[in-house]
Structure 1
């Protein structure tokens, strides 16, 4: 059986260490000015580069007292970070009570961190963000341990496995759209409804439970997933009842209990659902997951699969409602494959859907940032990064750069087609699934799920905005969520 590899002691020591920025002292600055600057902490040097090196120091600012930049992040997300990139360049330190970190911005910084050629960056920066809620998940593992777990988990995402999932996804989507979604012309809150649908899909594909048959999954577990996902944006990051962090930890225990109660059944008999696959998978050396590792992976995969697909379909629905010509192009794709049972080959032929999915991921990236931590002293684009420094990569702002994308604020799926191929202007111009060793293992599954649901949806309904000029406001405290639930008109065809 595969056992968990302990976190190296040097990483644990660095994770506990709080780097204290140095107030900036510039040549010619007087004593009074230096004292005022030290009190304000408006701008500072993160750490002095080693003597004799050609590295530049990372500059930074503390933002608001106590809150740092949390308010701007929650309100504006990538818009605020894009503004920092324009003002300060690709490497900048933003102090924060939640996670003080160097921001690695732009495609070159993204490539340096994601490629991680010298293994300078660890996943440990996720620990203070979501660690208590998704501990043991694939995204939170490092280096050899991560690759070992990924090799075993990859067996759940082979093409034959994906082909087998399609009929289950289609059955759930068809049933829910026919029975639970409105059959008349009225406003409909799209985001919470599609979130429930994707959890129903996860229930069948990942757990082997037909949609609607496991009420505990739909009620208690669905709420627990929502609480854990949003707990990472807590300001008070201590288990103090009844605050967000405390609720997230309780929700994690709820999820553990749910999966633990069912793991013996999955071990006893093999089936095609992902829970069973993870229970029985072995790599070429015979290594397999322990019960606790299966539970940790199921909690993370269930969260990641249904939340990212929900976010992407929410953006797709919004953009297709506001761009009816693209809605018709997708509907024409759907008409070519017809209303019969779906398979992986039919879904892969929906080329207009591919363009719209990519453009939706570009405009509203479900996971707009990624977290890393420097294992050792290193450099990032010529800037000195001390060991233990948290580094936050924002691939979502690369998706908004006019130097990479033509008119980036405009919905234009053709930018992904030949010969334009704007996503190929830089290796990390488009990185909604991350990159390097930690590139999303489930991206092919996610696209199949999204195509299946949207194909069935557009075959039944015409999507319309609630009123001309409608634009949702997003909560960026985690994955982007439309505050109003995204009210759309579903007009039966």
Structure 2
């Protein structure tokens, strides 16, 4: 709610965990953001602050707070200002726009997710997945995460850019995207030579140049790939993007789609290899799919896959903290937060809270099933894709890609862990397993 003028506009009364000299909580956040925030919430309650990169950030840790911040019915919170660490690398991306400007750009982008276009993406995904899986060897240990990162990038080159799977530009894109993502969380925020930020900015320049060269090609001869659809995209009033907007949106979208999908597939692979009874359930529904291309009915029938994916995203959300910056003073639970304050919504802690979930530390996909529906205890109890106006525009595409991959892989193979030692997860910038998640594919008995 808006702040009342009678109260003091200060963060001094908001508690915080002990500070490390110079770096504050920055290293704690990079090492274990969920642990930092779960500990702070347990000690200080749902309103506390942490100091990251020299700035205090107020965290509001409840499902109600998620609804307040992400729903933002009063237009109190700037996503652009919140994601200040991405300004150099991903300017103009959809997530870095606010209010009416964001709404206008999202309406145009929505045209690239219409059903006929999604059907074309699905066909491209199936073909690319089947082809790329032939390169995965049976009965040999390999690290799943780097393998799926390479695969999703090559699938992205086919589906998003219309490139052939063996196009050498895929390797260049992979290197550039990795450099951009690494730079996003670099402690050094200026492109000082030989730093992550310098490498990230050089990678952005390379990507920008390549995307700009593609625009006239796609205008002249559009295909059914995503980039062509973005070039053609217009809202119901005929508004479209200029070349700079196209490059900015596509650069951000490729980064978001590639890294988050690779991470999601890795989490699902970990779950299936660690809990083989769930792998059996998904194999059963894969075997029940009709022969031929998967249609909407087939995707909808993969309900066990939905449960496992939802649980994997609950335990290891792609973005456990969603930053915003207050554009006006506001009040929350008796605290007056002044304009200009960085504010964090914390879906990662909400999705691990016993207030909303039974034994939240346990892997239990049935919690999402019709008999329990724990995700419906609150509108924002389960929010791995954010919410409100900025809810992930590609969530249905991502779910489709996961299902297509599992249908192709599990039709003929099982996935096993090389050993059953617990997996440690790196949380920032995107969840990934330390050691890459060594696995083995086994041919299924037919």
**2:148 is aligned with 1:197:** no
- CA–CA distance in 1 between the matches of 2:109 and 2:333? 34
**2:98 is aligned with 1:142:** yes
Question: 1:78 maps to which residue?
Answer: 34
Shift of 1:51: 3.7
Residue 486 of structure 1, aligned match among 413, 423, 437: 437
Deviations 1:40-92 (A, max 9, x none): xxxxxxxx985457999433356211211122222222122111111111221
TM-score scaled to structure 1, two decimals?
0.86
**2:119 is aligned with 1:181:** no
Shift of 1:155: 0.7
Q: What stretches of structure 1 of length at least 5 have no aligned partner? A: 1-47
Q: Is the 8 A contact 1:166 1:344 kept in 2?
A: no
Question: 1:408 maps to which residue?
Answer: 360
Deviations 1:142-200 (A, max 9, x none): 1111000000100111222212211110101101111x1112x1211100111111111
Question: 2:385 maps to which residue?
Answer: 433
Question: 1:354 maps to which residue?
Answer: 306
Question: 2:258 maps to which residue?
Answer: 306
Shift of 1:96: 2.1
Question: 1:335 maps to which residue?
Answer: 287
**2:122 is aligned with 1:166:** yes
Deviations 1:289-313 (A, max 9, x none): 0001011111111111121111111
Change (3 A) 1:62 1:123: farther
- CA–CA distance in 2 between the matches of 1:215 and 1:370? 35
- CA–CA distance in 1 between the matches of 2:9 and 2:36? 30
Show the 5 A alignment for 1:79-118: 79-97=35-53, 99-118=55-74
Q: Is the 8 A contact 2:143 2:439 kept in 1?
A: yes
- CA-based RMSD of the aligned residues comes to 1.8
Show the 5 A alignment for 1:444-463: 444-463=396-415
Shift of 1:127: 4.3
- CA–CA distance in 1 between the matches of 2:413 and 2:250? 33
Question: 1:325 maps to which residue?
Answer: 277
Residue 287 of structure 1, aligned match among 215, 228, 239: 239
Change (3 A) 1:447 1:98: farther
Question: 2:198 maps to which residue?
Answer: 246
The higher radius of gyration belongs to 1
Change (3 A) 1:339 1:486: farther
Q: Is the 8 A contact 1:365 1:432 kept in 2?
A: yes
Shift of 1:138: 0.4
Q: Is the 8 A contact 1:98 1:237 kept in 2?
A: no
TM-score scaled to structure 2, two decimals?
0.95
- CA–CA distance in 2 between the matches of 1:53 and 1:246? 42
- CA–CA distance in 2 between the matches of 1:196 and 1:89? 42
Alignment: residue pair count: 441
Deviations 1:443-464 (A, max 9, x none): 0000000100011111222111
